[in-house]
Amino acid sequence: MSDPTPPAQAPDLNQQRLHFIGIGGSGMSGLARLCAARGAVVSGSDREVSPAVLKLRSEGFDVTVPQGEDALPELVDRVVVSAAIPIDHPERAAAQRREVPVEKYAALLGRLMIGRRGVAVAGTHGKSTTTSILCHTLLQSGLDPSFILGAHCEQIGGGARAGSAGGGPQAASDVLIAEACEYDRSFHNFHPTHGLVLNVEADHLDLYASIDEIVESFALFAGLIHADGSLLIQHESPHRMAITAGVSCAVQTIGFAPQADWQIELDGGHVTLKHGGMPVAEWDSPMPGDHFAYNAAAAAVTAHRLGAPWQTIATAISGFTGLDRRMQLIGERGGVTLVDDYGHHPTEIDTTLRALRAHHQPGRLICVFQPHQHSRTRHLMEQFLVSFGAADVVIVPEIFFVRDTEQERQSVTAGDLVDRLRERGVKARHVHPFGAIAEQLEELVRPGDLVVTMGAGNVWQVGRAWFEAR
């Protein structure tokens, strides 16, 4: 039995028994909370006990660890899975044998947008940051959005929230904001009123054959936006015209170019946002880098479209304290600054390292970079080789193995990346395991250095191990 395709209608979740496989994931846990707030009876399973699982349990969710066929409840109306859960997963296979409908995370989240003002934030980079700033700004403006994002932002209460006004047509909480990921073409399940395309680059080449396929996928997403809605897209993107051709909604551009509909001017840490050449808001950026200023401006324009006043928007952005693993300042030890970041794409690495160097002006910038996926490392190798120019030392642990095949795993190693970096004159070294990296940092660092751990896997553990060994 194949996974059924549910009808494109808003789901009635009242007393529906939903079981989430991999409920501890940031997006899955957020969706579980949204469904519970709408009356569903939610259970779930995960591979191990994690802070996210403990938090869910403390909130009354029934979470089984570890996963397995026995974790599937006897009474269940629908099973929800993320794109990372394979067809032969024991619980998913058990659900199919019992003819329990199985629905992907993105499909259910997309159906929750029906009948609401859905806001979908898409792009190769910056989705979590932009979504977090947008949600923070709306909350500070007294609006009541529902939202779900793939990262933890303490300032907005975590990674998900269900608006309290009931979701009626005039209620503030009819707004539902979500990240729209291109992986597995998940964002094709959405039904947005407003969409953002922050940027488009080559990524997920284990699923897409080329950048042309990626652009086509973003174009399909843009075409899903309601005709009476809006699309905000990066002005400087070379793919802008291909993505917006044929869409029925209003389209505006945002960027640093004077020709953009919404122009960003950055003077040191001060941001001015202009519309039609006229300033509409300005603020002091709470975090360094052009990319943060751009993400904040995109959030500002969207917040204003949803009813937030400009002055409140500017004040909220100035007071934004960031989110986990996005240029997150962990602290200082012995005159050495430690930062943690989620960046795992070459563009993210280059942009983040440059911003950290310009802002902190360290004696040396030491980057502990954990490649994420063997396929990404292989496909984007040439780009990775030019992305560490702002670092003085690069330490590379083993590649984080996820979603790839064993054959792909054998195709490239962390040592291959280090060897190629050395050929280009980069001071790079391959060190494994994490404990050895922490020990090497102990020997390597000196006052005035900045250490940044980077990657979408568990590389953050390296920094914490070094930081706490004092």
Let me know if domain 17-104 sits in CATH 2.60.120.920: no
Task: Cite the residue boundaries of each domain of the chain with CATH code 3.40.1190.10.
Answer: 114-318
Task: Report the half-sphere exposure of 108 (CA within 13 A, side-chain side).
Answer: 28
- The burial class, CB within 10 Å (0-12 / 13-18 / 19+), for 60 is exposed
By C-alpha distance, which of 351, 309, 307 is closest to 126? 351
Q: How far is CA 45 from the centre of its chain?
A: 22
> For every one of its 470 residues, what pLDDT tens digit does the chain have, with 9 covering 90 and above?
344 444 456 778 899 999 999 998 888 998 999 999 889 999 999 988 988 899 999 999 999 999 989 999 999 999 999 878 889 999 999 999 999 999 999 999 999 999 899 999 999 989 999 999 999 999 999 998 999 988 888 888 877 777 764 443 334 468 999 999 988 898 999 999 999 999 998 888 778 889 999 999 999 999 999 999 999 999 999 999 999 998 999 999 999 999 999 999 999 899 999 998 999 999 999 988 898 999 999 999 999 999 999 999 999 999 999 888 888 899 999 999 999 998 888 998 998 999 999 988 999 999 999 999 999 899 889 999 999 999 999 999 999 998 778 888 889 999 999 999 999 999 999 999 998 999 999 999 999 999 999 998 899 899 988 988 76
Q: Does domain 328-468 have CATH number 3.90.190.20?
A: yes
The sign one gets for the Cα dihedral 306, 307, 310, 314 is negative
Under DSSP, the state recorded for 156 is G
> Six-digit token pair at 280?
């509409």
Q: Tell me the fold of 114-318.
A: UDP-N-acetylmuramoyl-L-alanine:D-glutamate ligase (3.40.1190)
> CATH 3.90.190.20 spans which residues of the chain?
328-468
Per the listing, tokens 């709470």 go with 286
For residue 443, CA distances in Å to 167, 297, 391 come to 56, 41, 18
Single-letter amino acid, residue 269: G
Based on C-alpha coordinates, what's the Rg of the chain? 22
Domain(s) of CATH 3.40.50.720: residues in the chain: 17-104
Neighbours of 310 (CB within 10 A): 15
Residue 324, Cβ density class (10 Å: 0-12 exposed, 13-18 middle, ≥19 buried): middle
CB 146 within 8 A of CB 163: yes
Residue 170 pLDDT = 39
Strands (E), 171-305: 175-180, 194-197, 230-234, 250-255, 262-267, 270-275, 278-284
Tokens 């947005």 -> residue: 192
Strand segments, DSSP code E, in 309-427 are 328-333, 336-341, 365-369, 393-396
Q: What pLDDT does residue 166 have?
A: 43
Expressed in percent and rounded to 5, the helix, strand and coil fractions of the chain are: 35, 25, 40
Amino acid at 82: S
Label residues 138-152 b or e (16+ Cβ within 10 Å = b): bbbbebbbbbbbbbb
Within 10 A of 59 (CB to CB), how many other CB atoms are there? 12
In terms of C-beta density within 10 A (0-12 exposed, 13-18 middle, 19 or more buried), how is residue 134 classed? Answer: buried
CA separation, residue 159 to residues 23, 52, 154, 266, 429 (Å): 13, 11, 8, 29, 35
Phi (first) and psi of residue 360, to 5 degrees: -90, -25
Q: pLDDT value at position 151?
A: 83
pLDDT at site 82 = 85
Tokens 């996820």 -> residue:
402
Nearest to 126 by CA among 134, 117, 137: 134
pLDDT of residue 4: 45
Which residues touch 173 (CB under 8 Å, ≥6 apart)? 144, 145, 146, 162, 163, 164, 165, 166, 167
From the list 343, 334, 360, the residue with the least C-alpha distance to 441 is: 334
If DSSP codes are grouped into helix, strand and coil, which group holds residue 26? helix
